[in-house]
Amino acid sequence: MDLHRMWDNRCLECHGHSGAFARQFLSVSSGQLQGRHHTDNLHRFLSSHYLSDSEVDAIYSMLLAQASTPAKFENECSKCHETAAIFVRQSLEFQNGVLFGRASGQRVSEFLRHHRTLSPDDVEFFENLLRRIATEIYRP
């Protein structure tokens, strides 16, 4: 199940986009995700929002990753590609565990090396970001 679609269907109306929500209202302390009001057990809080145990763990991991990741996609890419989740759904796919562009058939890692004027650090950042989001979208 697509975690981003799940968030959009269940949480978006009250909490907005998951990445913006995570960066604005959550923090990471000692590798654990904390809310402003629920600092000690965010898992328990998430489970009170009608999610199964496996969904709680998956949403928690997604929010932890988002709270730990700068909003570079939103700031640098969204004018052309909307949100990262929409971009991944529309334009990328896994083939044997490797992320490829649907239209070009090219590995994302190769494509990014020649996209705009991305630095090697930016290429690595965006490749990791898109891979993570793809695993959150294309999950069993």
What pLDDT sits at residue 78? Answer: 94
Q: How confident is the model at residue 38 (pLDDT cuts 50, 70, 90)?
A: low
Number of C-beta neighbours around residue 25 at 10 A: 15
Q: Is pLDDT at 37 greater than 80 in this prediction?
A: no
| Average pLDDT, integer, range 51-76 | 93
Locate the domains of the chain by residue range: 3-67, 72-137
Under 8 Å between Cβ of 85 and 129? no
Q: Is pLDDT at 68 greater than 70 in this prediction?
A: yes
CA distances for 32 relative to 6, 92, 106, 130, angstroms: 22, 30, 36, 22
Q: Is pLDDT at 39 greater than 90 in this prediction?
A: no
